[in-house]
Amino acid sequence: MISNYKKKKFEIIVFSILLLLPIFIDSYYLDNISYFMCWTFISLGLAVIWGMGGILSFGQTAFFGLAGYGFSVISINFLGIAGVSIWSVVLSLIITGIFGMIVGYFLFYGGIYDVFIGIVTLAITLVLETFMQQTAGPEYAIGSARLNGFNGMQGMPTIGFESLQFGLLEGVTQYYFILLLAIIILISLYKFKQSKIGLVFLATKEDRERVSSLGHNVQKTQLIAFTIASLLAGISGILYTNWGGYITPDSMGLVSAALPVVYVAASGKKDFFSVFLGCIFFVWLSQTLAINGKQFAIIVMGLILVISTRFFPDGIILMLKNKLTEKIKWL
CA–CA separation, 85 vs 241, rounded Å? Answer: 12
- How many CA atoms, within 13 angstroms, populate the side-chain half-sphere of residue 39? 27
Tens digit of each residue's pLDDT (9 = 90 or more) over 196-222: 999 999 999 888 889 998 889 999 999
CA angle 119, 122, 123 (to 5 degrees): 85
What is the DSSP annotation of 242-279? HHHTEE-GGGGSHHHHHHHHHHHHHH-TT-HHHHHHHH
Q: Is 160 helix (H, G, I), strand (E, B) or coil?
A: strand
Nearest to 121 by CA among 265, 257, 229, 220: 257
CA–CA separation, 294 vs 171, rounded Å? Answer: 27
pTM for the complete prediction?
0.93
Q: Which residues of 208-233 are buried (b: 16+ CB within 10 A; e: fewer)?
A: beebeeeebebbebbbbbbbbbbbbb
Tens digit of each residue's pLDDT (9 = 90 or more) over 226-265: 999 999 999 999 999 999 999 999 888 888 899 999 999 9
Tens digit of each residue's pLDDT (9 = 90 or more) over 64-86: 999 999 999 999 999 878 788 88
Is-contact 73 238, C-beta < 8 A? Answer: no
> What is the 8-class DSSP label of residue 151?
G
Q: What pLDDT is attached to residue 121?
A: 93
Q: What pLDDT is attached to residue 322?
A: 87
In a 10 Å sphere around its CB, with 0-12 CB exposed, 13-18 middle and 19+ buried, how is residue 206 labelled? exposed
What is the DSSP annotation of 63-101? HHHHHHHHHHHHHHHTTTSTTHHHHHHHHHHHHHHHHHH
List the pLDDT tens digit at each of the 331 positions of the chain: 444 555 678 888 899 999 999 999 999 999 999 999 999 999 999 999 999 999 999 989 999 999 999 999 999 999 878 788 889 999 999 999 999 999 999 999 998 888 899 999 999 999 999 999 998 888 889 988 989 888 889 888 889 877 665 678 889 999 999 999 999 999 999 999 999 999 999 999 888 889 998 889 999 999 999 999 999 999 999 999 999 999 999 888 888 899 999 999 999 999 999 999 999 999 999 999 888 777 888 899 999 999 998 899 899 999 998 888 877 665 5
CA–CA separation, 290 vs 14, rounded Å? Answer: 27
CA angle 268, 201, 120 (to 5 degrees): 75
CA–CA separation, 266 vs 254, rounded Å? Answer: 19
